[in-house]
Chains A and B, each alone.
Chain A
């Protein structure tokens, strides 16, 4: 079956612009996670959805970052007023629940110039 997909695969934007990153999870997976990986680091947790609601958004770095999952499936990570420090690979993962293995998408590489 289809895995987790993310679009776009690469995004280059200018400092100050707004970007949206999309994640399509595996059908039936109620749990969805966003992570950010900077060079030389492991993935860093951003936000976790259980169904439509953000069950844990403690990893979002500041109020420029926001994510939605309105119908409990596709999720969009939104970054306002992008900064060069936002440049990273943004990974999405889905699972059957918090204690199950997570299935990752290929990531979106965001470059802020």
Chain B
């Protein structure tokens, strides 16, 4: 079983604050890293698929970076809004059989109005 860790487990920020959290994964046998947002009572929604070391991707106020050599990815949210409240999951795909995602346990973000 591959170890994918996310920190912090949960986070409370004020509306308007910027925040970031971390996903750590095995640096060997890297194939791809996914980020998903999972709002309560909804389906997980894909944010980014990252494949190259040094990748930076952006979608609105959310961006992500990738360092495959050291095995981490950061997700940044600029100017947090209450609608950003959700659990953010990262998932790792190893190069040895890219069949499934190994998920972390997620970071639960609450944005306080």
Contact = CB atoms under 8 A, between A and B. Distances in A.
A3 interface: yes
Determine the main DSSP class of A at the interface with B.
loop
Given A98-B93, A99-B31, A107 B43 contact: yes
Interface string B7-47: 00000000000000000000000011010100001111110
Interface string A1-37: 0011000000000000000000000000000010100
Nearest to A4: B43
Interface residues of B, number: 26
A105 B106 CA distance: 18
Nearest to B45: A104
A90 to B, nearest CB: 13
Interface stretch (A42-50, A61-69, A70-78, A80-88): A42-50
A43 B99 contact: no
Interface of A: 3-4, 33, 35, 40-45, 48, 55-56, 59, 91, 93, 98-107
Given A42-B4, A43-B44, 4 more contacts: A56-B99, A98-B100, A102-B34, A103-B43
